[in-house]
Structure 1
Amino acid sequence: MRRLDSPADTSLLHLVGGTPVGWIAADEHGAGYWAKLESAGLGGMKARAAASLLAGAASRGELAPGAPVVESTSGTLGIGLALVARALGHPVILVVDNELEPDMRALFSAYGVRLEVVERQHPEGGWQQARLDRLTEVLATTPGAYWPDQYDNPDNAAGYAAMAEEIIEQIEAVDVLVATVGSGGHCAGLTRVLRRHWPGLRVIGVDSIGSRIFGQPSRHRVMRGLGSSILPRNVVYPDYDEVHWVGPVETVASCRAVAARTCLAGGWSTGAAALVSGWVACSEPETRVLTVFPDGPHRYLSTIYDDEWCTTRGLLVPPVTEPAEIATPDEAEVRGWARCRVVRDPAQTQVSA
């Protein structure tokens, strides 16, 4: 058995990434799309970002050896940070909110992660702003702590360059990338590299209803892991050719349909990505579509895949099968699946107004 004589042991980090691509059938007529299956990599998709965030900080001298790492998360990045920080010899403090699933709390406890739990949403910025406010307090009282700042740190996007290179080796050609958007990191990182190889790549962003990212008003969101009540600077608006907003009803249906058809299951981001990718593949049969399934099902067994939980929230009603279309992002508040082929930075729009 191998002894650990140092607080840092990076032997597991080589298992981050290196994930397969799978063909996902979208209908019975042969339409489908490619999905990068990040649940097959240690720590899921966001372990890539976590490794890049901490390595970048260490190389610049911003992260001292053994210093605590403090970050706000709805859950998924926290898994990646716990893995990477432990391997590099850093304790982790995660600022989470009261809607974090019990299974995730238990997992973080098993990992030895300290949780700071926010009990109330910010009146305008929702859970994210409330978590960031608490994070500021934690940083002020934790000597030497480092905040990766996933929303505004370019190292986030840089962490996905290797994923893009893997995709180029795995797939002959792609016409459309469908990417869910939360912090903006994985879409920015993939687009930057993939468009060098495939200059005509069309990029479709997938957001949540009730998210501010693409110019809709912020509202309470059932879905976690995509969407935002703040405007992350990692979102590169010129990269996107169109945006879709999806709701929890159609996303639950999408998650369950993919699971039943393929025995591949994932969470909110996976269901949202599958919904839009399948729609594009069926609407444009000659188009080669790629997306990313960020994680697996285990976090969601008591929510998305639990009939009682979904029924209580009215999520098992028949979903819509086509997106409504709006001309501009602020034309109307969307309440369910919708798309817009005009993409602009809401912060720039507010300034110009």
Structure 2
Amino acid sequence: MIATVLRTAARPELLSLLGRTPLVRVTAELPGPQPGFWAKLEGLAAGGMKARAAMSMLLGARERGELRSGAPVVESTSGTLGIGLAFAGQVLGHPVVLVGDSELEPSMRQLLRSYGVRLELVDRPAARGGWQAARLARLRELLAVLPDAYWPDQYNNPDNTAGYASLAAELAVELDHLDILVCSVGTGGHSAGIIGPLRRHWPALRLIGVDATGSTIFGQPARPRLMRGLGSSIHPRNVAYDAFDEVHWVGPAEAVDASRRLARGSFVSGGWSTGAVARVAAWAARVHPGAVVATVFPDGPHRYLGTVFDDDFTAAHGIDPAAAVGRPVEIPHPSAAEATGWARCTRVTDPLRAHHPSSERNP
């Protein structure tokens, strides 16, 4: 158990590295011809996409007096937010303690530690809530022994959402028009943070959420999930259910196939989340001719060289990219059928308020 953490000096000059990521037109076949969509390459930013949220959460906590100067920051992560918090911790001068799990890739463990993070790993999922619940249990133990420690609580912190206002502002400047926005959903932060400001520019903008099979966010049963970075075994309060026009659940085969096709055909790619949103964005561009479609690629491919891009890994986990389907199965309601592969639903429901009509958004 960690009892103390070292203080760290602030490096405010690093803020110049935040955001301002490239926007690229993707026309790769996913899996067949498609007219193209725009992708914001957040993986090319220092600290990755979630550096925006990390900075927002820590700055908000400092302004409210919840985070004292030099105090440690403790959070649960599957990797991506951890990189963002490592960045924000260096900028603001806060040591960072992260709770991961034994599924965290060795390369990500090494990278986080290289950035000065103290990394705690849980070795088994909780019976209810899986790895996320196990990480949160360990996190609470750490909070009890680390004086003045601050927990951002990315799943429920509105500053997570607010951090993506800058991403929305960049898209609004870079695009003349936007009809459809495709976002992966994990904590719910970036989809909620982008859609509000962009709908003020384009009120008719449609939002498509992309979840993982086995995720319970949109009302499906929670199952063990191979894909990391999107999906959840809990219900984050940051998910803006009423903002979504439809949701897609994507399986590992479709995500792997799309990520590999992106690498071969566009030279930009990423992991599970990037493959999943690319698959759905290409579908949206194909079925809505003339529509301007955009999405966000949360990270790049390097973290996934031993998983998404490794034939031995995919074979060991029964993933056959060649068997990936070209279109989603339609289901009428999230509880009507379990999505075991790519599925689509145009009735979006908040599972915690499913009995209230106001919890559903229909196209």
Aligned to 2:4: none
CA contact (8 A) 1:177 1:202 kept: yes
Task: Quote the Cα distance in structure 2 between the aligned partners of 1:9 and 1:258.
Answer: 35
Please list, as runs of the form range in 1=range in 2, the aligned pairs for 1:111-190 lying within 5 A after superposition: 111-190=115-194
Instruction: Tell whether 2:81 aligns with 1:41.
Output: no
- The alpha carbon displacement at 1:350 in A equals 6.5
- The alpha carbon displacement at 1:100 in A equals 0.1
Task: Quote the Cα distance in structure 1 between the aligned partners of 2:90 and 2:132.
Answer: 25
Task: Quote the Cα distance in structure 1 between the aligned partners of 2:101 and 2:275.
Answer: 22
- The alpha carbon displacement at 1:24 in A equals 0.3
Task: Quote the Cα distance in structure 2 between the aligned partners of 1:351 and 1:133.
Answer: 31
The partner residue of 1:324 within 317, 325, 329 is 329
Q: Deviations over 1:44-69 (max 9, x none)?
A: 10010001010111111110000000
- The alpha carbon displacement at 1:185 in A equals 0.3
Q: Deviations over 1:199-220 (max 9, x none)?
A: 0000000000000100000000
CA contact (8 A) 1:208 1:247 kept: yes
SS at 1:19 equivalent: coil
Task: Quote the Cα distance in structure 1 between the aligned partners of 2:13 and 2:47.
Answer: 14
- The alpha carbon displacement at 1:18 in A equals 0.6
Task: Quote the Cα distance in structure 2 between the aligned partners of 1:42 and 1:16.
Answer: 6
2:17 is aligned with what amino acid?
A: L
Instruction: Tell whether 2:199 aligns with 1:195.
Output: yes
Instruction: Tell whether 2:18 aligns with 1:16.
Output: yes
CA contact (8 A) 2:28 2:261 kept: no
- Cα RMSD (Å) of the superposition? 1.3
Please list, as runs of the form range in 1=range in 2, the aligned pairs for 1:81-100 lying within 5 A after superposition: 81-100=85-104
Task: Quote the Cα distance in structure 1 between the aligned partners of 2:144 and 2:131.
Answer: 20
TM-score scaled by structure 1?
A: 0.96
Aligned to 1:215: 219
The partner residue of 1:345 within 318, 343, 350 is 350
Structure 2: where are the runs of 5+ without partners? 1-7, 358-363
Please list, as runs of the form range in 1=range in 2, the aligned pairs for 1:259-338 lying within 5 A after superposition: 259-316=263-320, 317-338=322-343
Task: Quote the Cα distance in structure 1 between the aligned partners of 2:355 and 2:157.
Answer: 23
Task: Quote the Cα distance in structure 1 between the aligned partners of 2:278 and 2:356.
Answer: 35
- The alpha carbon displacement at 1:179 in A equals 0.3
CA contact (8 A) 1:254 1:275 kept: yes
SS at 2:261 equivalent: helix
- The alpha carbon displacement at 1:295 in A equals 0.8
Task: Quote the Cα distance in structure 1 between the aligned partners of 2:254 and 2:181.
Answer: 20
Q: 1:323 to 1:8 in 2, by over 3 A?
A: same
Task: Quote the Cα distance in structure 2 between the aligned partners of 1:163 and 1:78.
Answer: 19
1:23 is aligned with what amino acid?
A: R
Task: Quote the Cα distance in structure 1 between the aligned partners of 2:133 and 2:145.
Answer: 19
CA contact (8 A) 1:208 1:223 kept: yes
Q: Deviations over 1:78-113 (max 9, x none)?
A: 001001112211111001011000001111121221
SS at 2:354 equivalent: helix
- The alpha carbon displacement at 1:142 in A equals 0.7
- The alpha carbon displacement at 1:286 in A equals 1.1
Q: Deviations over 1:254-299 (max 9, x none)?
A: 1001111011120111000100000111111211101000111111
1:336 is aligned with what amino acid?
A: G
Aligned to 1:3: none
- The alpha carbon displacement at 1:40 in A equals 2.0
Task: Quote the Cα distance in structure 1 between the aligned partners of 2:13 and 2:110.
Answer: 25
- The alpha carbon displacement at 1:43 in A equals 1.1
Task: Quote the Cα distance in structure 1 between the aligned partners of 2:33 and 2:73.
Answer: 49
Q: Deviations over 1:143-194 (max 9, x none)?
A: 1000000000000010000111111110100000000000000000000100
1:12 is aligned with what amino acid?
A: L
Please list, as runs of the form range in 1=range in 2, the aligned pairs for 1:236-255 lying within 5 A after superposition: 236-255=240-259
- The alpha carbon displacement at 1:30 in A equals 6.0
Task: Quote the Cα distance in structure 2 between the aligned partners of 1:310 and 1:26.
Answer: 22
Task: Quote the Cα distance in structure 1 between the aligned partners of 2:38 and 2:116.
Answer: 36
